[in-house]
Amino acid sequence: MAGFAPVRHIVGVAAPLLRANVDTDAIIPSREIKGVAKTGLAEGLFADWRYLAAGSRMPDPSFILNDPRFAHAPILLAGANFGCGSSREHAVWALGEYGVRAIVAPSFAPIFRGNCVSNGIIPVVLDAATILAIADAGAPAAIDLPTQTLVSGTITVSFDIDPETKVILTEGLDAIDRTLRQGDAIAAFHAADRIARPWVYLESIS
């Protein structure tokens, strides 16, 4: 059973949050994390920017996601080094619960990028000038992962993504799914290792 819904085509509004070095504590402040579940986090997404005061739920009208045009946008346009800081996976969970299915940025913090892939969010890398052009055009965007293309208005661009990441996303495979796919190789290793190091294995006593 897939770990998350396969991600192949994302179509919708692209919200421009063109700030560099957005860290995971900005994506979801630690005070907004009250449990270990993947749900109940969307309200705390970008809480320090989204609301007028800490602990408040009064929307700040100047923040992009509070603009009705961009509310619950499935695509987020971002700046370089997006998701830096801690390895907080809650940041990706909050984005996913809010409705984000793809993030387009010039670069991502490596751990954050890995968390995106493991949770069904496409990390698309494009140069800053192209991202700015997409933001300025203000048109809906369409991301096609199988063909690795993004289309927005008159802009059509290709993006690179490694084959393993592409398979994980298009087939909806979490870490457990990927491990189970190696079942034959794991069994073969155990069989060979049992012969090479029999003293390691405790046999059941009937």
Cβ–Cβ < 8 Å for 94, 41: yes
Determine which helix (DSSP H) or strand (DSSP E) holds 142, and give its type and residue range: strand 141-144
The label of the residue with tokens 């700030």 reads 19
The answer, yes or no, to whether residue 202 has pLDDT greater than 80, is no
Helices (H) and strands (E) in the chain, counts: 8, 8
**Per-domain boundaries in the chain:** 9-172
Handedness of CA 53, 56, 61, 65 (dihedral sign): positive
Q: How confident is the model at residue 102 (pLDDT cuts 50, 70, 90)?
A: very high
CATH number at 9-172 = 3.20.19.10
Q: How confident is the model at residue 204 (pLDDT cuts 50, 70, 90)?
A: low
pLDDT for the residue numbered 56: 86
Which pLDDT tens digit goes with each residue over 139-152?
A: 999 999 999 999 99
Q: Give the chain's mean pLDDT.
A: 92
How far is Cα 76 from Cα 124, in angstroms, rounded to an integer?
10
How far is Cα 172 from Cα 7, in angstroms, rounded to an integer?
7
